[in-house]
Amino acid sequence: MHDDALDHYTQDAPVEVVRSGYDALSWRYRDDDADAEQYKPWIAALLDALDPGSQVVDLGCGCGVPVARDVTTAGHLVTGVDVSEVQIRRARQLVPDATFICADATTVRLPSGSYDAAVALYSLIHLPLSAQPALLRAIAGWLVVDGLLLLSAGWDAWTGSETGWLGGDATMWWSHADVATYRRWLGEAGFQVVTEEFVPEGSSGHSLFWARRAPLHQ
């Protein structure tokens, strides 16, 4: 799939801030053996929904812990994509039975109609808003009909950066639309939202969507 919005993103976006930020902060964000308590019910629900030997793509997979690790351990075939070389290097060591691609999710080439599920936890929100609907359309195209999407996104609209994030030296950058906008974008991308919830964090939080690729997606 080719999308002009993604071309625009690759030309002038803060992808380098995000990439170099995660290169610098990979371990501060997640230890090698992190349990990531918050993720446990999400991973359990994902595993419940998958048939044996499913193909799962994890966009913005980080170091592969816990999602790629736990989904691979359960016998599924995971492809992780991340723009940070450090995250991908760690993921290859920590989850040797999964496949990892170091690439920008907005330009990576993946096979159409090939994945039973897609996961994008806390990664879409590092893209400029102009690129996010196009990536959702691309994800719909990579999924099989009725394929499952687990997505964390914004709750309130906010775009900004933080220097010294996680107590490190790097700057990080995010861009959220509000939850109603994500609901609309998912529908426009060819998804049927199954559930959505608010995941609190600090004084605000994120949305968490479960959605399925609708049968009539083109």
Ligand X SMILES: C[S@@+](CC[C@H](N)C(=O)[O-])C[C@H]1O[C@@H](n2cnc3c(N)ncnc32)[C@H](O)[C@@H]1O
Burial (CB < 10 A; 0-12, 13-18, 19+), residue 31, is exposed
Q: Which one of residues 62, 147, 154, 190 is an interface residue with ligand X (CB under 6 A)?
A: 62
User: What part of residues 77-96 is at the interface with ligand X (CB under 6 A)?
Assistant: 81-84, 87
Q: Is 22 a residue that touches ligand X (CB under 6 A)?
A: yes
Q: Which one of residues 70, 104, 139, 209 is an interface residue with ligand X (CB under 6 A)?
A: 104
Nearer to ligand X, 36 or 214 (CB): 36
How many of the chain's residues bind ligand X (CB under 6 A)? 20
Return d(Cα 62, Cα 66) in angstroms, integer.
Answer: 9
Q: Which one of residues 122, 129, 159, 193 is an interface residue with ligand X (CB under 6 A)?
A: 122
Q: From the CB of 29, what's the least distance to ligand X, in Å?
A: 6
Q: From the CB of 151, what's the least distance to ligand X, in Å?
A: 11
Q: Is 60 a residue that touches ligand X (CB under 6 A)?
A: yes
Sheet containing 77-82, strands listed edge to edge, beginning at the edge strand earlier in sequence: 99-102, 77-82, 55-59, 115-120, 143-154, 204-213, 191-201
CB 212 within 8 A of CB 194: yes
